Amino acid sequence: MGEENGLKDQIACNTRISSIIDDDLSYAGYNISELMDNNASFEEVIYLLWNLHLPTQIELKHFVDELRANYAISDAVEQCILIQSRRHLHPMSVLRSTVSLLGVYNINAEDNSVEATYEQSIQLMAKMPTIIATFARLRMGLTPVEPREDLGFAANFLYMLNGEEPTPLQVTALNKALVLHADHELNASTFAARVTASTLTDIYSCVTTAIGTLKGPLHGGANEKVFDMLREIREHGNTEVYLKEKLDSQEKIMGFGHRVYKTQDPREKYLREMAQQLTQGTEDEVWFNLSCEIEAYMKNTKGLIPNVDFYSATVYHVLGIDSSIFTLIFAMSRVSGWIAHIQEQQKNNKLIRPRSHYIGQLNLEYIPIGKR
């Protein structure tokens, strides 16, 4: 039965947004390698996922202008983030609550017309980086940095996060990471978003559902665990001994294997390249070298391949992103795919209502409480 293995290989819907066929990932018909090798911008990819075709120059300029005009968040939303910036709160819980709050402050949140849904989509997409950068800085006791409308999506986020304009290599690295994480067929959070959308609720509820799903450690959070592992190995000083101890005690090594891919994760090689370029000749090169050692050991002893989370941990760390918010960066990218799936579900909707297979007892006799 499908439920015994998490509905593995069960088809739940038709989609034109993304596909995984023979270990190849495509967005609306474009293989991920086609987009990466031609340096497609994240903004182009968002447009592609939402419209199922790449934009012309005029279309892209209009789309980018719309996003940039909506970067800023209100003082009320910033105050809400400040209240939630205490260390003990889970960053994904803060993101979940803040996105939900955006729906409270949008007076058109209950309007599900095509025009209103598009406006809400732009607002959600544009404000995610500002919410995340604001939270990250407030959590560290730093003053939030206002977004700059003259900077693209990736550059603006790094500027707001670190307080200085990023280098071209840094922008390229984050742009590639965002493109690679933008969508991934019917993963858990995307499926949750589509189920929610099928009830004809508002887009904020759908994205909040997706964030709550991504928060779970079996879906998001793997790259955070990868960097924790890198840090521990650096402290211990011996990769082989560390990994052998973990494997002998039946602990999972994060960043390896995938539910869908069998021979390779097509996204991993691009993040490996960016990790190498970002660290080459710097003191951060130790993280890349450790990653290579771990990859070699896992391949030789377990035959396991690294997935998208493995090298993204080093990329994010070198970009000045604290490991505690790695999953927020995942969400900042994946919201583009969530929105695409929400819109697709709404256009040809049917309530998603599967059945369960009952395996409990039957025909029990009621015994009055005095005789139990």
Catalytic residues: 258, 309
Question: How would you class 230 by CB atoms within 10 Å of its CB: exposed for 0-12, middle for 13-18, buried for 19 or more?
Answer: buried
Q: How far, in whole angstroms, is CA 19 from its chain's centroid?
A: 17
Q: Would you call 351 helix, strand, or coil by DSSP?
A: coil
Dihedrals φ, ψ of 211, to 5°?
Answer: -65, -40
For residues 338 and 206, the answer to whether their CB atoms sit within 8 Å is: yes
In 3-state terms, what secondary structure has residue 349? coil
Give the whole-angstrom CA distance, residue 325 versus residue 338: 19
CA pseudo-torsion sign 259, 338, 156, 42:
positive
* Residue written as token pair 């990932």: 25
Cα–Cα distance list, 108 to 77, 104, 112, 117 (Å): 17, 9, 9, 9
Question: How many CA atoms lie within 13 Å of 235's alpha carbon, on the beta-carbon side?
Answer: 6
CA separation (Å) from 125 to 18, 152, 215?
A: 19, 13, 18
Beta-carbon count within 10 A of 284 CB: 15
Give the rounded distance of the alpha carbon of 279 from its chain centre: 23
CA angle 311, 218, 330 (to 5 degrees): 50
Does residue 79 contact residue 190 with C-beta atoms inside 8 Å? no
